[in-house]
Structure 1
């Protein structure tokens, strides 16, 4: 028997370290039986006994002893102490009786499993592998996915797809989660007991080894602290002499630490806080930032907008932490909450945005929701350069050497990082060195395809607003219904073009499958009263779709004034459909819609998928997202990956095949 660290919790069986023996082992035995059977301490009989009839209970015993949901005849023979031929014959008799089922798979000739497990497959099941810190979930409920998202990372949401005879739909069954150290470090709980309580409410039974590991990781997140000395300089504190000597001083040099103060304290060089956080985080010890942050030069500002209860909670959480990242869904009011935090801090504020257009939108929002007047708000970017008590600048401009001194010299009390997922990029991360200020990040999708999203929380602060299910249940934000639809090729000409293409061209041909035009028409006809946004990544495809739908195509080539008129017409109901290129993913004030159709996507970007789906997350009304993918191409994987962030937040993603002539719904 293995220790608990190797046991898959939730199966109710013991896992055997030798359970991987397969049919190839039996081939070496001249009698056809597994030669290890007599030596197996976990339930194999001491002698080889042929069996004519196999009782179902004995089959269950063999399955449980193997610790796997399916078994081969060789494994049953080993567990029951019989020959492989005898076990196979007896198993086939159970198949004939209907109590056992079998299927041929790639890695074994035939595997067997209890027939009733087909029915169990329709229920929620969670299997935990504590030693790997992995969770495998079949048919998870929304509650389960929402809770798991608070302490686990969704690795894969594709799983097996099961066809429904009634409606032809397929749904993603399998979800694989991993609990990483950073998931524990960033978990939105006040203490480890609260985190463990949520884990216990979801997992099928307690796992002492997994809980002990979570406790140890939680402790690692609180072993180093940055504090402000009475004389005004910053000190790095370690929980022990060993940590300071063997971790901090071994990984940090004189560029970060000026000199030791005691066995557990070191004097931090001014401006080195961000570098220290990065280095110790990579060493496995996230730093708690307890410094006295600058309040900034005061600004006379009041909020004029009534906030929702959860927005008030977000502000309270931020004031307590003095830094953090708002990660609420689109439509939850993150910008207004940020403005509420600005008013609560009451100090001069620098807001960093990725584009000039977003700078203009922030100015409008500040004037609408606060008592600030136009003379108190400045913009600093390529088109305008004006520093005011509340300044909105682009990341690129703020990171330039010739402008940096100007930003550093101002008495900011708060720095707001809009679309904070840009921070890990080299051109943007310099702005994160403004570590002496209150820091607030905003992003519905703080995920990056380079897996550097952990750095966002390291440099800016812990996440706030991660429990999306509460907002869905309260009706503040409409949970979208997400459907991935796999389409056949429109004709053999298109398929042949794809087959002969290579690399990026192959992906482009699949994305531009002409069948998507007709499918988009069908989907729009199925929702005649809904406003719709159709997203594309390729300009040629966007122009063809716009012509076919008789709708405007908004791309980077459209002048700003014309784009604004199109969006105004859409908001006012004069237009019901717009085709939008990648320019609509962020940086422009794209209107919300009742239906979003993703005709092509950016190589499976999770952030892009969530941003596009977010355009349908309105407080009321239906909310549909359709992702179109050409069957049998890389688009299948891209579509599944694009929706992974939403699936992680508890949103159901339904997959279906579209046959020739099938209806859009």
Structure 2
């Protein structure tokens, strides 16, 4: 990040020349000492990398002659340089520029509620993650954070004073206006509470009569609030709890859920592995809030952290997943990493229907009317929502009303093109996680090398067909450009030692790739048994390449993929792009992701926009031209 965002008036006339007043010595012209770190502090306080002695004198509250003498002493040690710029005064700057550029600097823009940080320490990033959202990061060490209302609402503090202490620790200066806004948001998040009445029904309690009358009873109808109990309390319909929370959240008043929910039968288990420090932090934060969404890059160990939460809750647990493949993988993961036995774990979906202390079910099955009563009647200590970004959709949303004391969501990228991310946090809980870049830096997850590779048209005929088409047909023609087969073959041969996934959204394209490359095409039309067999062969190293359709975007664990080639699907969501790149994110080795976009088509823009989301997470994205010589005519 640079200083270009500073207000223009901050730089006006800074070094226009020294005045007569500047030259006057103070009454007590004592010697001033200055070392290299002190000079760096002065530069950062002034906000310019090149300074005059008069500005240094102002910063140190000494005379200009004393400042000049101190600067001359530093120059004698070759720690700073001075330059006589003709009619302007002498200016000074550090000899070792890298010491300045590598040093942490925090700049607050209170009007925009944004924080720019150059080269933050892990501690600073951890502090900022408590109350701010990481918007963007660059590979030059710059980070842009934004303080949003939902970040303040979900801040893991018992009191506003505790939150304010962290804010003042990390920010370089106080901003009364920003602190006032944060306090207002904090108060908003503590105006409404759900609790259990002594007779067993749910009560919505407001901090004041005015809030209950002018907010809750105005926003909610008789199907949600059954009857008033007092001027500040209302009886809530049991089946409408999630809806009440969502409506008040949208009105700017998140609800504190303090109902006396059961944790189900006790479940005794231990983990058979040690959690990483940041996973311990995730578990601790979740246990404080009793609900939340773990957000982190693929390979960060969200599933392992979820098992740590399961062990801490110690109650019967329902795990909801989008596919049967994921159900089987969860079962294997639980058995491998906990002391639970096969008899304690059941699966409930189209293939099998077992309800056990740990039950793994698909969203679709749990939402069906004929199965719903079974899940509703059981007291779950914990419900885990894997791939939680599905929750806002109509079919999956029904599972959000399940009775449980703890709700845990998991997602690498809880972003939605319909802008319903807020629904995830109102239905499940606030985000919990570490920014991707921190895990890259710490070596827990290997940052992939992502390249957008522009592929020429296979022939003039194909290009002309594209030009004369429109809508979906035009997008499909660009996506299925036959020249992508040659480029894929070239990339696979160039990286023949890597296990590779090739993503193809269109069935005809996938079959064409399969025939040309002699590689199986895994898709939704393939029988489940055959699909599982091919995936297992890939996991075990018996196959080094697979072509996959959208079934590979989620719900399939491919931990050993080292190379991903995205042949089509650029018109998909930001989440899809991140998930495909994420299939190669693991601690071991550096993985490669190639995104093929047809040159001279709308795919160029699609690729750049979709990969921008990855770039904002700290992933380096480059661009290049296709290298294959031959094209398919």
The TM-score, its normalising length taken from structure 2, stands at 0.75
Q: CA deviation at 1:518?
A: 2.9
In structure 1, the gaps of 5 or more residues are 1-7, 16-41, 44-55, 59-121, 159-170
Q: CA deviation at 1:512?
A: 1.4
Find the counterpart in structure 1 of residue 621 from structure 2: 654
Q: Out of 548, 571, 583, which is 2:539 matched to?
A: 571
**SS in structure 2 at match of 1:589:** coil
Q: CA deviation at 1:436?
A: 4.1
Conserved 8 A contact 1:517-1:545: yes
Q: Out of 412, 415, 418, which is 2:386 matched to?
A: 418
Find the counterpart in structure 2 of residue 89 from structure 1: none
**2:7 pairs with 1:12:** yes
What CA RMSD, in Å, does the superposition of the two structures yield over aligned residues? 3.8
Q: Out of 388, 412, 416, which is 1:448 matched to?
A: 416
C-alpha distance in 2 between matches for 1:243 and 1:227: 17
Find the counterpart in structure 1 of residue 240 from structure 2: 272
Find the counterpart in structure 1 of residue 207 from structure 2: 239
Q: Cα gap change, 1:501/1:125 in structure 2, threshold over 3 Å: closer, same or farther?
A: farther
Q: CA deviation at 1:205?
A: 7.2
C-alpha distance in 2 between matches for 1:567 and 1:130: 51
Q: Cα gap change, 1:565/1:500 in structure 2, threshold over 3 Å: closer, same or farther?
A: same
Q: Out of 314, 323, 339, which is 2:291 matched to?
A: 323
Q: Out of 504, 509, 513, which is 2:477 matched to?
A: 509
C-alpha distance in 1 between matches for 2:465 and 2:121: 41
Find the counterpart in structure 2 of residue 104 from structure 1: none
Q: CA deviation at 1:193?
A: 7.0
Q: CA deviation at 1:591?
A: 4.0
**2:584 pairs with 1:616:** yes
Find the counterpart in structure 2 of residue 302 from structure 1: 270
In structure 2, the gaps of 5 or more residues are 18-100
Find the counterpart in structure 2 of residue 221 from structure 1: 189
Find the counterpart in structure 2 of residue 535 from structure 1: 503
Q: CA deviation at 1:343?
A: 2.5
Find the counterpart in structure 2 of residue 255 from structure 1: 223
**SS in structure 2 at match of 1:413:** strand
Q: Cα gap change, 1:290/1:9 in structure 2, threshold over 3 Å: closer, same or farther?
A: farther
Conserved 8 A contact 1:484-1:653: no
Q: CA deviation at 1:656?
A: 1.7
Q: Out of 427, 430, 445, which is 1:462 matched to?
A: 430
Provide Cα deviations, 1:576-599, integer angstroms capped at 9, x if missing partner. Answer: 322211111122333431121211
Conserved 8 A contact 1:570-1:576: yes
C-alpha distance in 2 between matches for 1:525 and 1:197: 56
- Which segment is superposed worse, 181-190 or 338-347? 181-190
Q: Cα gap change, 1:339/1:640 in structure 2, threshold over 3 Å: closer, same or farther?
A: same
C-alpha distance in 2 between matches for 1:126 and 1:492: 53
- Which segment is superposed worse, 378-387 or 256-265? 256-265
1:269-418 map, 5 Å? 269-418=237-386
Conserved 8 A contact 2:451-2:623: yes
Conserved 8 A contact 1:604-1:639: no
Find the counterpart in structure 1 of residue 402 from structure 2: 434
Find the counterpart in structure 2 of residue 85 from structure 1: none
- Which segment is superposed worse, 470-479 or 607-616? 470-479
C-alpha distance in 1 between matches for 2:276 and 2:318: 25
Conserved 8 A contact 2:523-2:548: yes
Conserved 8 A contact 2:317-2:381: yes
The TM-score, its normalising length taken from structure 1, stands at 0.72
Q: Cα gap change, 1:496/1:340 in structure 2, threshold over 3 Å: closer, same or farther?
A: same
- Which segment is superposed worse, 143-152 or 284-293? 143-152
C-alpha distance in 2 between matches for 1:444 and 1:661: 33
Q: CA deviation at 1:181?
A: 3.1
C-alpha distance in 1 between matches for 2:169 and 2:308: 34
**SS in structure 2 at match of 1:272:** helix
Q: Cα gap change, 1:637/1:324 in structure 2, threshold over 3 Å: closer, same or farther?
A: same
**SS in structure 2 at match of 1:415:** strand
Q: CA deviation at 1:424?
A: 0.6
Provide Cα deviations, 1:545-588, integer angstroms capped at 9, x if missing partner. Answer: 33333332222233333333433433343433222111111223
C-alpha distance in 1 between matches for 2:569 and 2:169: 36
Q: Cα gap change, 1:370/1:381 in structure 2, threshold over 3 Å: closer, same or farther?
A: same
Conserved 8 A contact 1:172-1:653: no
Conserved 8 A contact 2:325-2:555: yes
Q: CA deviation at 1:497?
A: 1.4
**SS in structure 1 at match of 2:266:** coil
Provide Cα deviations, 1:375-432, integer angstroms capped at 9, x if missing partner. Answer: 3222222232222222222212211222222211112221111111111111111111
Conserved 8 A contact 1:223-1:285: yes
